[in-house]
Amino acid sequence: MKDFSQDNIDFKKIINDEKKINKDVTHLATTVSLFTKFAWTLIILGVLAGAFALADKLFLNEFSNISGIMAWAVLCFWVLAGLFFIYTSFLSQKQQILMTHIETKFNEIELKTTHIEHEVLKARFEELHDSVKQERFESTFFQLLSVQNVIVNSLEITKNNENNESVSVKGRDSFTVLFQKFLQKARFVYDSDFNKIMSHYEEFYNENHAELGHYFGNLYHIIKFVDTSAIADKEKYINFVRAQLSGYELGLLFYNCLSKFGKESFKPLVEKYGLFKNIPKTIIIDPSHPKMFEPSAF
């Protein structure tokens, strides 16, 4: 599953920042309230001073020195009150900016959290998709393997026993008879002449095409299916196939890959996945023949 550490949100830092901003907002609110009270107090004092000056004029019919002082006091009070209101307006704007900053932070957190949730859901979907894909692959793989076992079990080869009596050999034991039939002529008639051995193998293959054609065809499709599938552990399934191949099956596959029947198609897959890791050396007709494969085949 995808690592979301790069998208992690530092909630501790965010909480600390929020506390600091809230503290600043509270301090500003207190300051605004205090200066507003001061401003209104000054306005009230100005009104009282103005009323006193007006009363002084009405009763004395002229401005006394006290009236003049009160008039200046009114002016000063109201000027100061105006300054306080301007200052509180500035503080209120600053408070609003901080509140907007907090809201922006939470919007960013919400967007990032939504992104992470989306990525988590996407990763889970991909895991589910990969799981379904893996199950589908394994279902097809084991079906092909089952067909291969049916082909092997249906093989039946006739040979003469020690008493020169005709007997039937069935199943995987048929490969012993088939390989010995090929080997007898190849080893003792053509010795180490590779071209003659291959000519003999192709003749042998055509004579036994009913048995070998389906066998090699399906085996090739199994390996090719694994090779072209989008799965991670291909070696696991190749090893499973290789473990079921007997020494004589590997021997026939060895020379099939050197012949025109498998040189272009099957041989590259054998070399890619090392299908001959378990091949008995005694089965190979000549020590020079393995050199015709890439070392990775063994």
pLDDT for the residue 5: 45
Q: Output phi, psi for 286, to 5 deg.
A: -135, 140
Burial 125-143 (b: 16+ CB within 10 A, else e): eeeeeeeeeeeebeeebee
Quick one: which H or E segment has residue 166? strand 166-170
Closest by CA position to 173, among listed 155, 151, 161, 185: 155
Task: Tell me the residue type at 24.
Answer: D
Pairwise CA distance, residues 239 & 227, whole Å: 13
Helix %, strand %, coil % of the chain (to 5): 80, 5, 20
CB neighbour list of residue 258: distance below 8 Å, 6 or more residues apart: 198, 201, 267, 289, 292
With CA atoms as reference, report the closest residue to 104 among 221, 17, 210. 17
pLDDT digits (tens, 9 = 90+) for 157-166: 888 877 777 8
Q: Which of 20-29, 206-215, 227-236, 259-268 has the lowest mean pLDDT?
A: 20-29
The answer to whether 63 and 56 have CB atoms below 8 angstroms apart is yes
Residue whose C-alpha is closest to residue 43's, from 88, 106, 105: 88
Structure tokens at 104: 């922006």
Q: Any idea where the domains of the chain sit in the sequence?
A: 4-129, 155-297
Rounded Cα–Cα distance for residues 112 and 258 (Å): 60
Most confident of 121-135, 148-162, 179-193: 148-162
Note the pLDDT of residue 65: 53
pTM of structure: 0.60
List pLDDT tens digits, range 186-233: 776 666 688 889 999 999 999 999 889 999 999 999 999 999 998 888
- The answer to whether 178 and 283 are in contact (CB under 8 A) is no
* Exposure string for 224-246, b = 16+ CB within 10 A, e = fewer: eebeebeeeebeebbeebbeebb
Q: Are 90 and 10 in contact (CB under 8 A)?
A: no
What whole-number distance in Å separates Cα of residue 35 and Cα of residue 15? 30
pLDDT digits (tens, 9 = 90+) for 56-108: 555 444 444 555 555 566 666 666 667 766 766 776 777 677 777 777 776 77
**C-alpha span between 251 and 216 (Å, rounded):** 12
**Sign of the dihedral defined by the CA atoms of residues 151, 156, 159, 162, in that order:** positive
Copy the structure tokens of residue 72: 């200046």
